[in-house]
Structure 1
Amino acid sequence: MAQTLVNIRMDEELKKSMEQTCQELGMNMTTAFTIFAKKMSREKRIPFEVSVDPFYSEKNTNALNESIAQLKEGNVVIKTIEELEEMADG
């Protein structure tokens, strides 16, 4: 079967991380992308769930940024278990 070249742009750190994971799995990135392409073509869908992590909601992001600002000011940030659980629930 004829081969073709596919160029993909991605963040350098992501590429390094993927290369490391592929190496640990005993394959290279070409093999990983080929597996993905075959599965996607066969199933006619992205072969994994794509969703938004509710932890990174606007409310939680604002709370995290507020805590970071407090830490930069030298303050101790205290959150109750209830506040942390609320953040985990989105």
Structure 2
Amino acid sequence: MDAKKKDTRLSIRIDPELKKAGQEIANDMGLDLTTAVTMFITKMVKTHELPFTPTSLPIETLRALKESEHPEKTRKYYKNTKDMWHDLDA
């Protein structure tokens, strides 16, 4: 990239709710949305690929797959089967 950096404006159309949700997540990470988008594009330029794998799986399935990578954080243990069934409301 050029040593004399000049800023340019990027204008995109996006659902307002999606933008708001993205801003909240970026803020939780200590970033603003502009910085997050800049990081995305920087990674894409460096690697010549998207910084994520596009998928058509439902979000619930993706979350379950992610949880399965760290079962120690999501696994619940019971002292006996009675407690388990009670927790399952069965």
- TM-score normalised according to structure 2 size: 0.58
Where do 5+ consecutive residues of structure 2 fail to align?
Answer: 60-90
CA distance in 2, matches of 1:54, 1:15: 21
- TM-score normalised according to structure 1 size: 0.58
Give every structure 1 segment of 4 or more consecutive aligned residues whose post-TM-superposition deviation is greater than 2 Å.
none
Where do 5+ consecutive residues of structure 1 fail to align?
Answer: 56-90
**1:1-90 equivalence runs, <5 A:** 1-53=5-57
Letter in 1 for 2:18: L
Aligned partner of residue 21 in structure 1, secondary structure: helix
CA RMSD of aligned residues (A): 1.4
Question: Which residue does 1:82 correspond to in 2?
Answer: none
CA distance in 1, matches of 2:23, 2:46: 25
Tell me how far 1:54 sits from its aligned partner.
5.8
Tell me how far 1:53 sits from its aligned partner.
1.0
Greater relative contact order, per chain length (Cα 8 Å cut-off, separation 6+)? 1
CA distance in 2, matches of 1:27, 1:47: 17
Q: Percent identity?
A: 35
Aligned pairs, number: 55
